[in-house]
């Protein structure tokens, strides 16, 4: 959970938001900076708690979510209660390795296959932090006759972080839950 979250300064003047009611604008901005928001913009949203924090009824929040989904402002999976802010990667730039690791780690925790696929489609410009590869790392090995061949040595699932990268990132103050070590 982040203590702060960047939000575009002109978010309330976006063309898709200008016709929304004030309560709807508040709900939409909440999706950008609430305590459940993560690095990839796709996260589980406990509807009752969000409704309480926004001072709206759970049914009004569900109605707003359905409306935003129809307007293609967000996407929501009602089975997993996961929400994805569709413009997330337009405004969040992942310029360093740490930011990209955080992004792909969060993306690896998405439970909804539908939203996971949408996040992957929106993340084409976000380089996977492990040697630029999205799923496999290759090592060069020498054969007995001196020729080198590329062999697959490690297979990573989307969102997992290899131990070597964790050591490097730990030096920069990045911590990991025990379940990921």
Q: For the segment 127-159, what is each residue's pLDDT rounded down to a tens digit?
A: 776 554 443 333 444 455 555 444 444 444 444
Residues 55-97: pLDDT tens digits?
999 999 999 999 999 999 999 999 999 999 998 888 888 888 8
3-state secondary structure of 44: strand
- The pLDDT score that the predictor gives to residue 162 is 52
- The pLDDT score that the predictor gives to residue 132 is 44
Please state whether the predicted TM-score (pTM) of the whole model is above 0.85: no
Whether the pLDDT of residue 180 is over 50: the answer is no
């Amino acid at each position: 959970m982040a203590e702060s979250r960047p939000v575009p300064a002109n978010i309330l003047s976006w063309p898709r938001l200008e016709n929304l009611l004030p309560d709807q604008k508040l709900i939409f901005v909440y999706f950008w900076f609430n305590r459940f928001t993560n690095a990839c913009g796709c996260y589980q949203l406990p509807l009752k708690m969000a409704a309480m924090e926004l001072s709206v009824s759970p049914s009004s929040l569900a109605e707003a979510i359905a409306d935003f989904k129809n307007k293609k402002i967000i996407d929501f999976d009602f089975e997993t209660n996961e929400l994805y802010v569709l413009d997330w990667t337009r405004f969040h730039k992942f310029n360093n390795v740490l930011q990209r690791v955080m992004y792909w780690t969060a993306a690896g925790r998405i439970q909804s296959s539908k939203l996971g696929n949408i996040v992957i489609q929106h993340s084409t410009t976000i380089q996977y932090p492990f040697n630029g590869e999205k799923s496999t790392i290759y090592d060069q090995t020498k054969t007995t006759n001196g020729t080198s061949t590329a062999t697959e040595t490690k297979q990573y699932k989307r969102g997992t972080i290899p131990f070597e990268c964790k050591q490097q990132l730990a030096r920069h103050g990045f911590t990991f839950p025990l379940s990921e070590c």
